[in-house]
Structure 1
Amino acid sequence: MRTVLVLAAVVALALAGPAPTFHKDISQINVENVDATIVEHQYKVLELLDHVNQVNTEATYYKVGKAYDIQAHVDKYEKPEVVSNFYSFYENGMVPKYYQFTIFNDNMREQAKALYDMFYYAKDFETFYKTACWARVHVNEGLFLYTFYVAVVQRADTTGVVLPAPYEIYPQFYASLETINKIYYGKIRGEPFEEYPEYGIMKEGNNHFYYQNYSDYYTYGDEYKISYLTEDIGWNAHYSYFHTVMPFWEDGDKVAHGIFKERRGEVFYYFYQQLLARYYMERLSNGMSEIPTFSWYQPFKQGYCPFLTSQITPFAQRSNNYVMQNKYSFEDLRFVRSYEDMFLSFLEQGQFTAYNKQIDFSNSKAINFVGNYWQCNPDLYEKISQRRNYYNSYEMAARRILGGAPMNFKYDEYEFVPTALDFYQTSLRDPAFYQIYNKIFHFMSQYKQYLPSYSQDDLHYVGVKVNKVEVSKLETYFDFYVYNASNAVYYQNQELISGSDKQYAIMQPRLNCNPFHITINVKSDVEEQATFKVFIGPKYDSYDNEISFEDNYMNFVELDWFSQKLSKGENVIVRKSDDFFFYKDDSISVGDIYNLLAKNQLPTDMMYNYGHLPERLMLPRGTKSGFPLQVFVAVYKSQGVPKEVAETMFFMDEKPLGYPLDRPVTKYFLQPNMYIEDVSVYHRGNEYPTSYDVVHPYVKPVSHPQ
């Protein structure tokens, strides 16, 4: 007898509305009532993003886009010159339809910036919508999708409008070539649909389900052990969202309404520190080494075979011991080395003086310059010109060098062989990504060595002592998740017009954790508002040596950040993992969004916290005997922030991000208002999600004769 997966409870997730709902009961998620204006805007945005690779000639956006004349409505844009600038590109030829778009291509990026400026400077939502309809019909699909997605996030009048999850809009970037081919075959073949439950191909009503697991040794080598993280749709969407909120090519005063301008570089540093720390813990839980380092002068050891495809071309593969030195990469190699050396020379001098700027590296606010330097964004040289420094971007040069694509494969200026590093949606899948940004992070960390460590007076909260911290049982497991992949296939025109009742979904195991809570016992001699920070980090390194706190502070991930009124005497504060500041629930499907819209509601997390990491990923996978970690809690006096900053829900005070672990620590670091508690993370079920022979919430075992 052998056990196979057969669809069971997925039936309960059946069709409702214009798209299937593949999620837990929406009654279990936090929702917000919205007014008629948001509802109207939401319907329009969802229609524009439906089957983005095709044009529905009967859709409202098509009729509006065909009728709208942008040049005849120049007065509808705050800066009329953005229209003439865009048409200078459009009339001379832009990236054609059905070509793959990447923001890392110089020509495509300039075209995207020109189109985005029209979206951004539209005086009202109606003008923005009509411009988007025109672009949806007339320009490259990827170009439209990227610029429209960013514009919805950045415009003030679209605040609260929900964007579908990236993996539902472009499933090709989140599903393997094998799975996409199976879906294509099922769509093209038509009825009767061939079910193969033993291979994870099933049907229930008009919903077609395809099982997909994670890549194996042939894709990653030993790195396959953590492919359940690096290929996780929520992990990759988190990274994509960050660059939607903080596009590297835009001026800081127009990113998030200018809120981040003075801290843009700091946000860049903090984001990658947190990303790398979370990745490092996952490596440790799987018995893997430290994040590898590499030299630009030596072969790159880690190969990668992504088995992904764009609309046109399969992704390039990078061989093991990849030789970076070739005639196509010499210029990029010279640039990255000189860029590194230039930064080190700034550090040796202790300051940067050029381009009408003077940066003192002993000042903690210099982190903004350091982050801008490594992101190569326009704010770096803003005081001298409109120079777009990303033409000489360290990030892009490194991605080109290590992507592994043949650079001589070009029929025209827009043709290229895609790599995982060419797209934000796929970058986190490639082990080279973590090595590139680990290198960048270590350069930025060298700046931190120039800052004085916090003194005891800086850290001590007079009259406040953390007596005890208790953490409930921490347990991880793999469960099943189903997401809508219908946008991966092409529909006939009549199917688009009438609305096809056939939908295609991918079932995939994913890392999850049980809810838990942290109890903090605080004795206070003062009665005032206090801020609490909760971090989690490793206790031992990859050699099973205990890591001293002085060498470990940069490896902690921030779990929670909240404010609490302290009363005199004993205070017992209980925080549930569901309420942690930096995490959200998984995005719900488009079908669920339509269902909520019918009741004038939208999911709260997708409205405001879309860029946060899914709460199921807050813990690294545990082990049967318990993976040892440390929870660090710090309490300090609350500080207020300007109202416009508080409304971003990103900053709770004006302390540096990651405080008090944002600087090197000394052996005198720990104060009475801090506490370290040893914890263990346990794992139940299979150690790796690589077998069908597991009973999951969505499936049941069925016996078949041999």
Structure 2
Amino acid sequence: MKLLVLCALVAAAAAWPNFGMMADSPGGASDAQKQHDVNNILWKIYGEIRDPHLKELSQTFDPLSGHYDDGGVSARRLMKELNDERLLEQKHWFSLFNTRQRQEALMLYDVLEHSTDWDTFAGNAAFFRVRMNEGEFVYAIYAAVVHSHLTEHVVLPPLYEVTPHLFTNSGAIQAAYKAKMTQTAVTIKSQFTGSKSNPEQRVAYFGEDIGMNTHHVTWHLEFPFWWDDAHEDHHIDRKGESFFWVHHQLTVRFDAERLSNYLDPVDELHWDDVIYEGFAPHTMYKYGGSFPSRQDNVQFVDVAGVAQVRDMVLLENRIRDAIAHGYITGRDGTVISIMNSHGIDILGDVIESSTYSPNHEYYGSLHNTAHIMLGRQGDPHGKFDLPPGVLEHFETATRDPAFFRLHKYMDAIFREHKDSLTPYTKEDLEFTGVSVHSITFNNKLTTFFEDFKYSLINAVDDSPQAQDVPIYAVIPRLANNEFKIDYRIDNNNEREVMATMRVFMWPKYDNNKVEFSFNEGRWHAIEMDKFWVKLSPGENSLTRSSKDSAITVPDVPSFQTLINKTKEAMTSGSEDMAVAGLHESTSFNHYGCHDGKYPDKKPHGYPLDRRVDDERIITGVSNFKAMDIKVFHTE
């Protein structure tokens, strides 16, 4: 692997991010009380509410009596849909890509988001918990907790313990039901899909990792494509660019894992070509049957009620035409240049397509529609009335290797745009007076698999005859030893300067053992860290632990841990109910702050995001340092 470090100037006007805990909790309730209510409203989502107070609220609270900053418009709209019996029934699958189901979930999100006090928020949560579809309810609660000011310090329980069916293979789920029926405490060894005869099984640990699945769905909760500034209190900064970057990073990381397992990089999907790899999810919905399978060598066909293949080709051509011309045409006919650093942000909004797209009618929704098109190829005409495929859920999408082929296809479109921009010059890259003198790793870089255990108690139904018993799933997850990097940086300026350290790593060789050129390698670069540092005049020595990396976050505490710590906090009167630093790290590391602002002015991937015609332009500046490193895997 090749490691590259760039020390870049931080603009003087850039604000340092502040993620300090607020002393006062808005909304008239303590943080501990809010955590308690969220815990209980999400526990056993398909069963009855167990908390007496919330259970009473579910029957006595009147949403129209609540306090809202929209005058109660959202509450009245949802109540009318409920009273007119238009809402999706309970015990039915839910998909965010289903337009009507998404609208219903967002109706509840609006009610919660516009609640101005905790009594109103909690009352609505309890009331609609027992009346709305469970999937819609869970999505609305998670989205509201992520974005509401009332829940700034609430820690959401891990989704894989709230809706385990979306993260666990069906064999483990069936074993969990047996354990509940026989009242036997058990730890079930869960398996990845497929078999050793399928080469894709070698990298199933990546696409099916529950931490990665959680990251993917969490990112889309924090940067939702449905976010509308007209109804929210802030604009999400660089949302389209972040869409590009986070999926680009998933794609290049997956390719790196493949190279490490003697597999070729993934090929792009194309609308006029076959989907070579099939996929059998081996997972089931809680209600609604099993996730559909797809055979090998399936040709893309039209999907009834969604799109025709030719529509997808047309949208792709319109977007590529815009890149070739260097501008997007707005819905009012205005010319919007993308030949600048901001162009990737506009293009990301167009390709996804989010509500930020300047012309959704013309450029369509390439990403979202493609997910449905690919997910439905097992039953494209609805002949067998199958539920949505794994590609139609952010929780499950990466389980299908075709997810990465789909995003490789879109990544190539993004690269087409990036390569059309003028390469960075020496003046764009250098940091006058600053040089990276040396980089030293304090120990060997090693990866290994370790067992990860999580609860399946919410996967099984309740009954008066069978009490809850401890039921866990255990699955291997890729991990690495902690390592530290020592940096020695010289600041030859006569004053203290603020700098951004950017660390990237890419495979040195391709699948044919040919060394990547700098220009090709930099597109495969994996962002390893990014942090700010004050450099005093003279020699500066700093040490950075892998645990502090900007791209890593701790696992969310287990559901039971949150419940226990919340109980302790409420008993003692303390607000400290979560893991130290959890709020800070999760707020920043998903590429943004709680107010929607991104605390960095450089493009994602700078300075490797633009083509490099001559690598000496980058390697020749003193604030850049490269070295070869080896990563070892131990069994």
Q: Please, what TM-score do these two structures have when normalized by structure 2? A: 0.88
| Match of residue 400 from structure 1 | 372
**1:230, CA displacement in angstroms?**
1.1
| Match of residue 576 from structure 1 | 545
Q: Where do 5+ consecutive residues of structure 2 fail to align?
A: 1-19
**1:520, CA displacement in angstroms?**
1.4
Which string of whole-angstrom CA distances, capped at 9 and with x for unpartnered residues, describes residues 612-644 of structure 1? 889xxxxxxxxxxxxxxxxxxxxxxxxxxxxxx
**1:152, CA displacement in angstroms?**
0.5
| Match of residue 269 from structure 2 | 294
Cα distance between partner residues in 2 of 1:47 and 1:330: 37
Q: What secondary structure, in the 3-state scheme, does the structure 2 residue paired with 1:224 have? A: helix
Q: What secondary structure, in the 3-state scheme, does the structure 1 residue paired with 2:137 have? A: helix
Cα distance between partner residues in 2 of 1:684 and 1:32: 40
Contact 2:203 2:257 in 1 (8 A): yes
**1:294, CA displacement in angstroms?**
2.8
Cα distance between partner residues in 1 of 2:316 and 2:186: 51
- Of 569, 581, 602, 1:655 maps to 602
Cα distance between partner residues in 2 of 1:494 and 1:649: 48
Q: What secondary structure, in the 3-state scheme, does the structure 1 residue paired with 2:357 have? A: helix
| Match of residue 345 from structure 2 | 368
Q: Give the number of aligned pairs.
A: 594
State percent identity of aligned pairs.
27
Cα distance between partner residues in 1 of 2:259 and 2:110: 44
The yes-or-no answer on 1:217 pairing with 2:195 is yes
Q: Where do 5+ consecutive residues of structure 1 fail to align?
A: 1-30, 194-206, 383-387, 615-644, 686-706
- Of 328, 350, 361, 1:352 maps to 328
Cα distance between partner residues in 1 of 2:593 and 2:462: 45
**1:476, CA displacement in angstroms?**
0.8
**1:89, CA displacement in angstroms?**
2.8
The yes-or-no answer on 1:86 pairing with 2:62 is no
| Match of residue 208 from structure 1 | 186
- Residues 117 and 646 of structure 1, relative CA distance in 2, 3 Å threshold: closer
| Match of residue 234 from structure 2 | 258
Contact 2:186 2:470 in 1 (8 A): yes
Q: Describe how 1:233-272 pairs up with structure 2 within 5 A.
A: 233-252=210-229, 258-261=234-237, 263-272=238-247
The yes-or-no answer on 1:439 pairing with 2:409 is yes
Contact 1:361 1:450 in 2 (8 A): no
| Match of residue 558 from structure 2 | 589
655-664 or 157-166, which moves further after superposition? 655-664
| Match of residue 484 from structure 2 | 517
Q: What secondary structure, in the 3-state scheme, does the structure 1 residue paired with 2:629 have? A: strand
Which string of whole-angstrom CA distances, capped at 9 and with x for unpartnered residues, describes residues 204-246 of structure 1? xxx421111322337x821110011111110111001001111
Give the letter aligned to residue 679 of structure 1: I
Give the letter aligned to residue 449 of structure 2: F
| Match of residue 531 from structure 1 | 500
Contact 1:238 1:613 in 2 (8 A): no
**1:300, CA displacement in angstroms?**
1.1
**1:325, CA displacement in angstroms?**
2.2
Q: What secondary structure, in the 3-state scheme, does the structure 2 residue paired with 1:52 have? A: coil
Cα distance between partner residues in 1 of 2:34 and 2:135: 22
- Residues 494 and 50 of structure 1, relative CA distance in 2, 3 Å threshold: farther
Give the letter aligned to residue 209 of structure 1: T
Cα distance between partner residues in 1 of 2:369 and 2:118: 37
Give the letter aligned to residue 305 of structure 1: A
| Match of residue 43 from structure 2 | 50
Contact 1:62 1:133 in 2 (8 A): yes
**1:352, CA displacement in angstroms?**
2.0
Give the letter aligned to residue 44 of structure 2: H
| Match of residue 688 from structure 1 | none
- Of 62, 68, 76, 1:76 maps to 68
Q: What secondary structure, in the 3-state scheme, does the structure 2 residue paired with 1:465 have? A: strand
- Residues 272 and 535 of structure 1, relative CA distance in 2, 3 Å threshold: same
Give the letter aligned to residue 333 of structure 1: V
Q: What secondary structure, in the 3-state scheme, does the structure 1 residue paired with 2:266 have? A: coil
- Of 468, 471, 479, 2:438 maps to 468
- Residues 59 and 609 of structure 1, relative CA distance in 2, 3 Å threshold: farther
Which string of whole-angstrom CA distances, capped at 9 and with x for unpartnered residues, describes residues 71-94 of structure 1? 344x53524322233234321421
- Residues 505 and 613 of structure 1, relative CA distance in 2, 3 Å threshold: farther
Give the letter aligned to residue 585 of structure 1: P
- Of 327, 337, 344, 2:313 maps to 337
- Of 295, 306, 331, 1:319 maps to 295
The yes-or-no answer on 1:483 pairing with 2:473 is no
- Of 153, 162, 184, 2:177 maps to 184
- Residues 517 and 292 of structure 1, relative CA distance in 2, 3 Å threshold: same
- Residues 264 and 646 of structure 1, relative CA distance in 2, 3 Å threshold: closer
| Match of residue 170 from structure 1 | 163
| Match of residue 256 from structure 2 | 281
- Of 452, 456, 478, 2:422 maps to 452
| Match of residue 109 from structure 1 | 102
| Match of residue 692 from structure 1 | none
The yes-or-no answer on 1:308 pairing with 2:286 is no
Q: What secondary structure, in the 3-state scheme, does the structure 1 residue paired with 2:206 have? A: helix
Q: What secondary structure, in the 3-state scheme, does the structure 2 residue paired with 1:214 have? A: coil
- Residues 37 and 489 of structure 1, relative CA distance in 2, 3 Å threshold: same
Cα distance between partner residues in 2 of 1:437 and 1:221: 21
Which string of whole-angstrom CA distances, capped at 9 and with x for unpartnered residues, describes residues 623-669 of structure 1? xxxxxxxxxxxxxxxxxxxxxx8776984421222222222223222
Cα distance between partner residues in 2 of 1:613 and 1:540: 29
Give the letter aligned to residue 94 of structure 1: L
Which string of whole-angstrom CA distances, capped at 9 and with x for unpartnered residues, describes residues 29-83 of structure 1? xx9898771111000000000011112366432210211122344x535243222
- Residues 423 and 259 of structure 1, relative CA distance in 2, 3 Å threshold: same
Cα distance between partner residues in 1 of 2:310 and 2:373: 11
- Residues 562 and 298 of structure 1, relative CA distance in 2, 3 Å threshold: closer
Cα distance between partner residues in 1 of 2:21 and 2:63: 35
Q: Describe how 1:623-642 pairs up with structure 2 within 5 A.
A: none
- Residues 327 and 683 of structure 1, relative CA distance in 2, 3 Å threshold: closer
Give the letter aligned to residue 613 of structure 2: T
Q: Please, what TM-score do these two structures have when normalized by structure 1? A: 0.79
Q: What secondary structure, in the 3-state scheme, does the structure 2 residue paired with 1:178 have? A: helix
**1:110, CA displacement in angstroms?**
1.5
Cα distance between partner residues in 2 of 1:596 and 1:242: 26
Contact 1:97 1:141 in 2 (8 A): yes
**1:416, CA displacement in angstroms?**
4.4
Cα distance between partner residues in 1 of 2:189 and 2:99: 38
Give the letter aligned to residue 378 of structure 2: A
- Of 676, 685, 688, 2:626 maps to 676
Cα distance between partner residues in 1 of 2:227 and 2:386: 25
Cα distance between partner residues in 2 of 1:234 and 1:330: 31
- Residues 102 and 611 of structure 1, relative CA distance in 2, 3 Å threshold: farther
Q: What secondary structure, in the 3-state scheme, does the structure 2 residue paired with 1:558 have? A: strand
Which string of whole-angstrom CA distances, capped at 9 and with x for unpartnered residues, describes residues 464-505 of structure 1? 11121122310011111111111110011576xxxx451211
